[in-house]
Chains A and B, each alone.
Chain A
Amino acid sequence: MSIYFKLVKALIASVEPTVQEKDRKKVFTRVMTFIAVFGIMLPMAFFVGIIIYWLTVQLMPSGAGQNAAELFLQLLSVFSFIFGLNVIFSVFYFSGDIENLLPLPLRPFQIIASKFTAALISESVMEFILIIAVFAGYIIASGVPFYAWLIAVFATLTLPIVPLAYCAVICMLVMLLTGFIKNKDTVNKLTGFLTFAVVIGLVAAVSTSGGLDAEHLVTALSDPHNALLGFLNAIFPHVHLVTSAMVNNTAVNLLFYLGINVLAVALFLLIAEAIYLPTAADVSRSASGRKTDLKKSMSVLRQHRPCVTYLKKEFRLLFRTPAYFMNCVLINLIWPLFLYLVYVLQGKTNFLESFIDNIHHGREETVLLFVLGVSAVSVLVTAANCIASSAITREGKHFAFMKYIPLSYMAQLNVKALVSILISGVGMIVYVIAAALYLGLGIKLTLLCVVISLLSVVFTTYFGIFMDSVNPKLVWDSELNALRGNYNIFFNMAIIMLLEALTCAGAYLAFCFTSIGALLLIVLLVIFLMVLVAVSYLLCTTKAVQNLDKLTG
């Protein structure tokens, strides 16, 4: 048994980042973890607990008290399953440790069980906080006896087992029967698109059911034949059993809950013993790609200008690296979805209708707010996609390449800026034109919006590159870690957003408290943004170039 625990400990350590960072960075990581737990997770858990409490109180009279908690736990199980794909593939197939474990005198069962436990712990730490919050809201609202708390603690630790066991079995069957998952990139893309699909599905469901207002939700959840809940209960029956065990005071439900968990783990172990080790060994051996004729390979070579080919390289790396694609590229396409989600979640407010109406009537204040919004969103999206503010960081261990090739630092930084401007700018222009057409803005105003959007993107881009050049995070062990916990990105966003907030607030206050008209303010905004572009360009092409020259990599 001690071997099992030691293996679990070693495997968890191999899932977590292993970069040797300086003490200062360790302190920073601890502070960020503290902020993540106490500043984000705990308030979120508290909020979830309050919602579950309120919904449970509303649902109790109709005898459907447990439905709110059940639905939330089911949705957690769905996300647990999706994110589990990534963890299972990482721990079971792409951790690179199987070739070291196989020669050791270990039973297959020990390797498989310890890997499953490591995956469970890695994936569920944050999830535990949300699960306990759901149970707390539910138990307090339904007034169930004290022993329910004991069940809740037990259930918190065991609820993620079934989704992860499903996930593990599916992963192994996929690896056994298909050959399409050859590296972690494919897994990252798969989980990214699944998450995206589920979020789209949820938004569509909420949107078509008339919004997410409380009254509507209570009505839907009190329906004993709620289709979504019924469907999820069929897939994850253990959730219904454990919530029922609390409220109905039946040991039978708890025993069934235990039975399902044991059955899931037993089935997983049985299947894993039969198919895991051979498929894992295959993955570590299947490194070589397809072979092609040399003549055919040579036919694609063409001479281009160095900057053109450098630009192509930047695009290829951004689009082919899943962590960069998801965080830097995709965000430019999907941000309107988040805006729409916020709008839908507001329920029956008629903000958009009145906004459109005001635009149609040419109300200066609304037009000015729209234009300021265009600038703010352009700045926010460009800073959030961090293409610019991670431009040097992304070079990582091949940073030296930037230094030894005969291409000036200024040219390289300008190409990196162009990548950010093209990706952020094209997305923004398409959405700005679409919004302008939808709102019926005139050609002049539409053009002004496009110019303002582009200037905001260019300014944010050059400033972002300058910020990254000050102290790029060049030591990272995975592309995701290059972006995650990178305080250049965080500080760049903070500074840029503060500057943009002051600009927008200044323009709006000038409109409210002086006699300057909206159109003149918009023209002044264009001039101000041009100054910012010039300043940030100078910063990038002088200071950032000097910073790059000093960096040793």
Chain B
Amino acid sequence: MIKLENVTKTYNKTVRAVDDISFEVKGGEIVGFIGPNGSGKTTTMKMITGIIKADVGKITVNGFNVRKEPLKAKESIGYIADSPDMFLRLKGTEFLDLIGDIYHVPTDKRQQRITSLAERFELSEALSSPMMSYSHGMRQKIMVVAALMHDPSVWILDEPMVGLDPKSAFELKQMMREHAKAGNTVFFSTHVLEVAEKLCDKVIIIKKGHLLFDGKLEELEAQNQTGSLEEIFLELTEK
């Protein structure tokens, strides 16, 4: 469960990237976070994961206050950053071993989990190679494996489909559904509105740091009788 209460973040005392936002992502939900470029999606996600400190407000993950109990909050999060270019001089196995140790994943569970994820994402043959030799899509896939290896209850995924081939994107969407069905939390940002439309129980729309909408798709459609999510989104964000 993720809960934000009146959270604000200002950069350089001038640019208000996130302005007094509050929302909740409950267990068992897949929530899509959508908004134009520069609307504050990544800043919000980085505040939830503890990368950026909120100026005002309270963020809790699974009941742990991100400021007061950061390590406990972080342990329950699986985070995929917006860029997969990380530690490229490490081999895939070395990177996953590092993540496994940091999240205290026992050897047998680690091997079993990586094997299963690597097979789903067709990464098996590349794991012993340096990540520098991976394509963008393969780097994104190994970030997905790393984020999910410790079986976190809260998934925070920043543009997770970017660079994934259709099969891997399909697998990830399936896994998101399975994860939410098991009572866990999935919070992800995307620019692909069709994905949000087909996958999400709820969408949160943000523009220039302000929340424009937080609710079920049906509610959004009921409020705006324009047509598709794409048309509603454009109408909302271009106002």
Contacts and interface: CB of A to CB of B under 8 A. Distances in A.
A552 B50 contact: no
A321 B129 CA distance: 16
Contact of A303 (B53, B101, B115, B126): B101
A288 B129 contact: yes
A300 B124 contact: no
A287 interface: yes
A316 B102 contact: no
Contacts of B70: 406
B106 interface: yes
Interface in A516-553: 549-550, 552-553
Nearest to B67: A549
Given A297-B124, A298-B111, A301-B100, A406 B71 contact: yes
A306 B103 CA distance: 8
Interface string B108-151: 00110011001100001111111011110000000000000000
Contacts of A306: 101-102, 104
Interface in B217-235: none
Given A297-B124, A303-B105, A303-B106, A404 B100 contact: no
A322 to B, nearest CB: 10
A407 B79 CA distance: 15
A24 interface: no
Nearest to A405: B102
B115 A404 contact: no
Interface string A179-208: 000010100000000000000000000000
Contacts, number: 129
Nearest to A550: B53
Interface string B67-90: 000111011010101010111011
A290 interface: yes
Given A183-B132, A404-B51, A297 B127 contact: yes
B97 interface: yes
B98 interface: yes
A225 interface: no
A539 B53 CA distance: 22
A313 B81 contact: no
A309 B102 contact: yes
B71 to A, nearest CB: 5
Contact of B128 (A292, A401, A404, A553): A292
Contacts of A408: 71
B94 interface: yes
Contacts of A400: 46, 51, 81
B125 A303 contact: no
Instruction: Name the residue in A303, A306, A320, A398 with the highest tally of chain B Cβ atoms < 10 Å from its Cβ.
Output: A303
B103 A301 contact: no
B223 to A, nearest CB: 35
A1 to B, nearest CB: 38
Interface string A267-291: 0000000000000000000011111
A235 to B, nearest CB: 36
B49 interface: yes
Given A289-B126, A294-B125, A301-B114, A317 B107 contact: no
B86 A401 contact: yes
B93 interface: yes
Contacts of B83: 397
A395 to B, nearest CB: 10
Interface in A397-432: 397-398, 400-401, 403-408
Contact of A397 (B50, B85, B133): B85
Contacts of A404: 49-51, 74, 77, 79, 81
Contacts of B125: 291-294
Interface size, A (range): 35 or more
A107 interface: no
A401 B85 CA distance: 11
Given A297-B127, A405-B102, A552-B52, A317 B110 contact: no
B180 interface: no
Given A303-B110, A309-B102, A553-B51, A317 B89 contact: yes
Given A289-B130, A289-B133, A291-B126, A304 B101 contact: yes
A361 interface: no
B161 to A, nearest CB: 20
B218 to A, nearest CB: 34
A392 B84 CA distance: 19
Contacts of B97: 300-302, 309
A308 interface: yes
Nearest to B72: A406
A45 B93 CA distance: 51
A552 B55 CA distance: 12
Given A403-B51, A404-B51, A404-B74, A317 B90 contact: yes
Interface in B44-73: 46, 49-53, 70-72
Contacts of B118: 294
B96 interface: yes
A287 to B, nearest CB: 6
Nearest to A399: B51
B158 to A, nearest CB: 10
A309 B95 CA distance: 10
Contacts of B50: 403-404
A444 interface: no
A328 to B, nearest CB: 14
Contacts of B119: 294
Nearest to B111: A298
A303 B107 contact: yes
A289 B102 contact: no
B28 to A, nearest CB: 24
Instruction: Name the residue in B98, B100, B103, B110 with the highest tally of chain A Cβ atoms < 10 Å from its Cβ.
Output: B98
A401 B100 CA distance: 14
Given A289-B133, A407-B102, A553-B51, 20 more contacts: A183-B132, A288-B126, A301-B107, A303-B100, A306-B101, A309-B97, A312-B98, A313-B90, A316-B89, A316-B90, A317-B89, A317-B90, A321-B89, A398-B85, A400-B81, A401-B87, A404-B51, A404-B74, A404-B77, A549-B53
Interface of A: 183, 185, 287-294, 296-298, 300-306, 308-310, 312-313, 316-317, 320-321, 397-398, 400-401, 403-408, 549-550, 552-553
17 contacts: A289-B134, A290-B129, A291-B125, A292-B125, A292-B129, A298-B93, A303-B101, A313-B98, A317-B89, A404-B49, A404-B51, A404-B74, A404-B81, A552-B11, A552-B46, A552-B51, A552-B53
Closest 9 CB pairs of A and B: A289-B129, A289-B133, A309-B101, A292-B128, A294-B124, A406-B74, A291-B125, A297-B127, A403-B51
